[in-house]
Structure 1
Amino acid sequence: MRSTTPITAAQEVRDYYDLNTARWFGRPRVSDAIHRAVWGEGVGTEAEAFQYIDRLILGEIQELSGSFRAPLHVLDLGCGIGASLVFLASHSPIRGMGITVSGVQAEYARRRIEEAALTGRVECLECDFLHLPRSLPPTQLAFSIEAFVHSPNPDAYFSATVEHVVPGGLLIVCDDFLSERAEQPLSRREARMLDEMRRGWLAPSLITVAHADACARRLGYRQVKNVDLTKFLDLRRPRDLIVAATVALGRHLPLFGYRYRSLVGGNALQAALVAGLIEFRFVAWQKGAPR
């Protein structure tokens, strides 16, 4: 696999989201969320499934509210078009800042925030979350939903956040992680799955939770939650089977480009989740003394 520097990795992610965001939101959708639906406990509709992770984060905000003066400052690292922050600010008296590397997403987010009448409480900033401005207010809770894997270096991700999260505050990552099974000898097919997922999903930081935890602990974070959500994902839907067939056919054709590469990566992710090589987890770290 070719190496990527932090600069080219960020450019690849920016180009991908700049290219695809308008297409995704150019048709009716159940949710403004870009992340996956999670059919966890109490979920009855697709819209609720897309909000499941946001509700988990809302629960953490409510727990933190007894430890900090209101309003809590919440930082979304990889915010998409701001759907999670809009949800959180609509259900709690937070102030939120969303970070996206995509100029297209930032513009969509600003419009979404204005439509929700949250201007002044929620903002969106276009920048690389590895190079956050020092002017950001102290953060009581920072989170990334399906954005951590895009970081070219997990150590750099945790280093970037630790400057802004206050002692006692939380950092939450909800994303794909390698399982313990993936650390064992792999078949050729399994190795190809993970390679295609990393390349097609732009996921250089696809690592184990243990690896992420080691990075976090070096900077003073302490893991306080680790929940496996994989069983709540809707895997191998009819659409996914069509994509798998398309990818299988495409292996014999000269197909290229961002869209096809993302199909290959998404198909590999599905296969790796089913095979138990990847797990979708909600992990929280606290900076400084535990609650």
Structure 2
Amino acid sequence: MTDTGLTFDGRVEDLHRAVRDHYDKLIDLYEEMWGEHIHHGYWDLDDLGVSRHLAQRRTVRELIAFGEVPEGARVLDSGCGVGASSIMLARDLACDVDGITLSSEQVRRATEKAEEAGVADQTRFLLMDAMRSTYPDASFDVVWSLESCELMPDKRAYLAECLRLLRPGGRLVVATWCGRDDRLAPSEVRLLRRLYRDFAVSHVLPLDHYGRLCEELGYADVATADWTEHARTTWKLSAEIARPLVRDPLFVWKLLRAKGTDVFRFVNSVPLMKQAYDRGVMRYGVFRAVKPA
């Protein structure tokens, strides 16, 4: 069977172990390279000179607007990272937020950051598998998934779990790495597989696949949008940050000693992500959907 690059290739247990190891080991490096928001930025096409930190906060604001997240909502931040989005939702919209992740270091850091931001009473961060959460049915007004869907080995099962957790009328709001289409050349598939390994990602799907999955599962008012052109500057800047690091023998030695060869391979793969965007293999998409009342 021809490999399309759009399927999960491996065991879930191994993927979860890779995700935990990746983020537990890299939490300090991620924050050093990307800042408090370890996700893509959003740039206006006529103003690409904005700092990545402002652009990353812009992504959260744009996703709030696109998803029509209501003030005071009970929100599940599914794949919460170090809690930056949860904090913005709590602080700016007075939301009550639970953030879940497989990484104990992310739970620790997110809890610290929420306390520093003064929203500890509105946020909780927990170790939990987003594919099989322990929350009762209809627990949330909003399920927020900012760059975690690409980690999920079974996209349909993940979206079904999100549907279960939503109250009637509740909203699913997702931003995720996407593939271009299902007609990739072998070299493009190899590039994706390399990125999956080095970034501890399961696989990506084209954006229209997500729209169809949501409709098949019974979501209503499904809408998608391609934000690739607004997000691609992320990897131009990231490659510029990574380039001097991997060329510094002292940094490389310290990285290898502290983190191991897998982590050095990750830093070395940052320019490959830029290549994936430049070649049109990787794209950035958002979608929203509503659980019928």
Q: 1:258 to 1:222 in 2, by over 3 A?
A: farther
Q: Could you say which residue in structure 1 is the equivalent of 2:108?
A: 107
Matches within 5 A, 1:224-239: 224-232=222-230, 233-234=232-233, 235-237=235-237, 239=240
Which residue in 1 is equivalent to 2:96?
A: 95
1:80 match: 81
Per the TM alignment, residue 82 of structure 1 is displaced from its structure 2 partner at its CA by 0.5
- How far the C-alpha of 1:218 sits from its partner, in A, is 2.7
Cα pair 2:39 2:147 within 8 Å, conserved: yes
Q: Identify the residue that residue 219 of structure 1 maps to in structure 2.
A: 217
Q: Quick one: structure 1 residues 185 and 82, their matched pair in 2 at CA, closer, same or farther if it must change by over 3 Å?
A: closer
Alignment of 1:38 onto 2:39: no
Give the letter for the 1:34 counterpart.
I
The 3-state SS of whatever aligns with 1:79 is coil
- Distance in structure 2 (CA, Å) of the matches to 1:217 and 1:91: 31
Deviation string, structure 1 residues 253-279 (Cα, Å, up to 9, x no partner): xxx832133235433332121111221
CA contact (8 A) 1:4 1:152 kept: no
Structure 2 gaps, min length 5: 248-259
- Closer/same/farther in 2, CA of residues 64 and 77 from structure 1, 3 Å limit: closer
Question: What does residue range 44-83 of structure 1 map to in structure 2 within 5 Å?
Answer: 44-60=50-66, 63-65=68-70, 71-83=72-84
Report the number of matched residues. 270
What residue number does 1:252 align with? none
Letter in 2 for 1:86: I
Larger displacement relative to structure 2 (121-130 or 212-221): 212-221
SS at match of 1:132: coil
> Which residue, 265, 269, 287 being the options, matches 1:283?
287
Q: 1:92 to 1:136 in 2, by over 3 A?
A: farther
Residues 81-132 of structure 1 show CA distances to partners (whole Å, capped at 9, x for unaligned) of 1101111211112111111110011011111111111122111111111121
CA distance in 2, matches of 1:162, 1:51: 27
Match status 1:133 vs 2:134: yes
**Residue type of the partner of 2:53?**
A
Query: Is 1:271 aligned to residue 275 of structure 2?
Result: yes
Q: Partner of 2:262 in structure 1?
A: 258
Distance 1:207 1:50 in 2: 23
Runs of 4+ in 1 over 6 A off after TM superposition: none
Change beyond 3 A, Cα 1:145–1:132? same
Match of 1:250 in 2: none
Alignment partner, residue 253 of structure 1? none
Runs of 5+ unmatched residues, structure 1: 247-255
How far apart are residue 36 of structure 1 and its match? 2.0
| Percent of matched pairs sharing the same residue | 22
Two-structure CA RMSD over aligned residues (Å): 2.9
CA distance in 2, matches of 1:266, 1:286: 35
User: TM-score, normalised to structure 2's length?
Assistant: 0.81
- Asked whether the equivalents of residues 240 and 267 of structure 1 are also in contact (C-alpha less than 8 Å), the reply is no
CA distance in 1 between partners of 2:20 and 2:65 (Å): 31
Is the 1:200–1:261 Cα contact (8 Å) retained in structure 2? yes
Instruction: Give the conservation status (yes or no) of the 8 Å contact 2:145–2:174.
Output: yes
Counterpart residue number, 2:253: none
| Matched position secondary structure for 1:177 | strand
* Structure 2 partner of 1:174: 175
Higher share of residues assigned helix: 2
